[in-house]
């Protein structure tokens, strides 16, 4: 399945307070807090990253998915929203798929983990529902709104979130910034690696 996604991230300081407000704003819980593990594949030269693309295998609970993302041809680099063309399918045998990638010249280059909770806001007439995911990562808790720009903006206002504090950065880029601020030798954004190397770092 291929689709265009428009999204924006924001840092969450009080997850309990945020989730308590969501039902009153019309959000429905789709998936309760679930562990998620991701592996990005690329060539040794990072050719996909150089073209603004990612190739990802994700385990979310018992579900495995393969995802390819790329920037659209008409992407506006000055936009404060992140827009990507996403092609995704379910996978039955992730180990076999990883071996196929390796034979084609791709190998695992980055792993990241989080606990994700999924919410949505839609009506019977709504063809473009708004999605909100809450990601508890080893370097902080992030919210991510995905949907039409107007609905992202109105939800930010309802949640009293300053748009200027939002970001379009991927978790890979957020991790690199965190590494630099904390002078961390961590290579992957996993709970075990972060906790073992930096047990009391700043988010």
Instruction: Indicate which CATH number applies to the domain containing 26.
Output: 2.40.320.10
Distances (CA, A) of 5 to 9, 67, 73, 96, 142: 13, 13, 14, 28, 18
CB contact burial 129-165 (16+ within 10 A = b; e otherwise): ebbbbbbbbbbebbbbbbbeeebbeebbeebebeeee
Assign 134 a pLDDT band (cuts: 50, 70, 90). Answer: very high
Is residue 42 domain-resident? Answer: yes
Domain span at 163: 2-197
Is residue 203 domain-resident? Answer: no
Is residue 202 domain-resident? Answer: no
Is residue 83 domain-resident? Answer: yes
Is residue 112 domain-resident? Answer: yes
pLDDT tens, position by position, 151-175 = 999 999 999 999 999 999 999 999 9
pLDDT tens, position by position, 15-36 = 999 999 999 999 999 999 999 9
User: What pLDDT does residue 83 have?
Assistant: 86
On the question of pLDDT at 77 being above 90, the answer is: no
* Dist. CA 9–CA 146, nearest whole Å: 9
Is residue 104 domain-resident? Answer: yes
Query: Across all residues in the chain, what is the average pLDDT?
Result: 91
Assign 200 a pLDDT band (cuts: 50, 70, 90). Answer: very low
Is residue 96 domain-resident? Answer: yes
Structural domain total, the chain:
1
On the question of pLDDT at 124 being above 60, the answer is: no
On the question of pLDDT at 99 being above 50, the answer is: yes
* Dist. CA 72–CA 141, nearest whole Å: 28
User: What pLDDT does residue 128 have?
Assistant: 75
* Dist. CA 85–CA 5, nearest whole Å: 6
Is residue 169 domain-resident? Answer: yes
What's the pTM?
0.88
On the question of pLDDT at 101 being above 60, the answer is: yes
> What percent of the chain has a predicted confidence (pLDDT) above 90?
81
């Amino acid at each position: 399945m291929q689709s265009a996604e428009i999204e924006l991230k924001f840092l969450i300081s009080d997850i309990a307070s945020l989730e308590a407000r969501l039902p009153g704003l019309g959000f429905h819980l789709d998936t309760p807090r679930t562990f998620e593990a991701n592996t990005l594949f690329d060539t040794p030269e990072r050719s996909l990253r150089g073209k603004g693309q990612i190739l990802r295998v994700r385990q979310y609970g018992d579900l495995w998915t393969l995802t390819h993302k790329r920037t659209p041809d008409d992407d506006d680099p000055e936009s404060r929203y992140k827009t990507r063309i996403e092609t995704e399918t379910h996978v039955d045998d992730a180990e076999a798929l990883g071996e196929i990638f390796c034979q084609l010249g791709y190998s695992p280059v980055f792993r990241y983990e989080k606990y994700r909770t999924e919410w949505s806001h839609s009506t019977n007439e709504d063809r473009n529902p708004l999605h909100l995911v809450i990601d508890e990562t080893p370097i902080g808790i992030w919210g991510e709104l995905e949907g039409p720009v107007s609905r992202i903006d109105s939800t930010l206002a309802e949640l009293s979130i300053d748009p200027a504090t939002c970001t379009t950065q991927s978790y890979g880029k957020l991790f690199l910034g965190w590494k630099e601020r904390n002078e961390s030798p961590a290579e992957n954004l996993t709970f075990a690696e972060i906790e073992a190397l930096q047990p009391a770092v700043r988010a």
